[in-house]
Structure 1
């Protein structure tokens, strides 16, 4: 049976409508996934590590306080000291509200960053930062929990012949240890401070 010109047009329109409907369904699923990724806390801070005074610490030790968490290493030539200097500026800017926030530095280089090494490193920033380290296995487990990326990079010009590549975001967790926000490397202390003040 041959189709008339009108029937052909109707079939084409029906096909186009089906394609548009399918595309809209896929787009709505994509938007839902993006919304969930961007706006719902995807994880909580969980760790059991040793601080720079040799004490075992978990996220429970900081319950009721906001946590500013940064992953790095003491031999870092630029990103880590710059970020911790920004954290120090934020803590200073908080004034009396600083007691509501605990800055935490977690090493991704446990081979060199012993408690003693961190005890020499974190007080330089004069911000009450708690330095945390552990066994390589503990650090790996913690990195998966948060989650963050890090890797050892062989470099003959670096101390001990290697450096570390790692996620350079500064993370914020709420008083229940739920993820609240993060800022990329280079975010000015003033911007972080303004965001924090709105929350606490």
Structure 2
């Protein structure tokens, strides 16, 4: 009779955690079930058109932001740059994408200049206000123009700040809010690269 509780305790402590695969779960939120990532077709800062579906076979991370952002956007871009570096050669299978929420000010030249200090492989995307609005809507991103106090023309953009993780098959798999550690980003990228 004493053996049964001991066996049950052993199962709970040692066997079941192995099946739970510690560390295998995404660190960010999960799209369950995964869903097809809405297509994105926008002009890139490189001068070439960008089409999300052309990047099947790679893991894609989307970040939405703008070049006049002084706090959140550069921190996220730096974290993505560090994460891709930590992946070593596997980082070649990751496409980082920065999509402006401020097309009125963020033309291709401004995006190139803004993204220059970060990973050289980041695709900076802009477009017409209507094109950008359609992409924001498809991904559930809110972006609101807010005037700067004391200025008639200057403004900031208050926007959702998430990283969208898209797998090699073009499926949305995970969503990570701003401020997560670089190692969490690396963890989720490794999971997607392994599958």
Residue of structure 1 aligned with 2:189, choices 178, 183, 196: 196
Matched position secondary structure for 1:104: strand
Q: CA RMSD in A?
A: 1.8
The answer to whether residue 112 in structure 2 is matched with residue 119 in structure 1 is yes
Alignment deviations for residues 37-70 of structure 1 (CA, whole Å, 9 cap, x no partner): 8521244131110100221111122121110100
Q: What is the TM-score when the length of structure 1 is the normalising length?
A: 0.77
Residue in 2 that maps onto 1:181:
174
Question: Which is richer in helix?
Answer: 1
Check the 8 A contact 1:69/1:103 in 2, yes or no. Answer: yes
Residue in 2 that maps onto 1:141:
134
Deviation at 1:135, TM superposition (A): 0.1
Gaps of 5+ in 1: 1-36
Q: 1:116 to 1:71 in 2, by over 3 A?
A: same
Larger deviation, residues 70-79 vs 147-156: 147-156
Matches of 2:52 and 2:187, distance apart in 1: 25
Deviation at 1:158, TM superposition (A): 7.6
Q: Which ranges of 4 or more aligned residues in structure 1 deviate by more than 3 Å?
A: 156-160
Deviation at 1:126, TM superposition (A): 2.7
Q: 1:127 to 1:89 in 2, by over 3 A?
A: farther
Question: Which is richer in strand?
Answer: 2
Aligned length: 164
The answer to whether residue 106 in structure 2 is matched with residue 109 in structure 1 is no
Alignment deviations for residues 116-174 of structure 1 (CA, whole Å, 9 cap, x no partner): 10011112113411100000000000111112111111114689510001110111001
Matches of 1:66 and 1:56, distance apart in 2: 19
Larger Rg: 1
Check the 8 A contact 1:43/1:146 in 2, yes or no. Answer: no
Residue in 2 that maps onto 1:30:
none
Larger deviation, residues 46-55 vs 157-166: 157-166
Gaps of 5+ in 2: 1-29
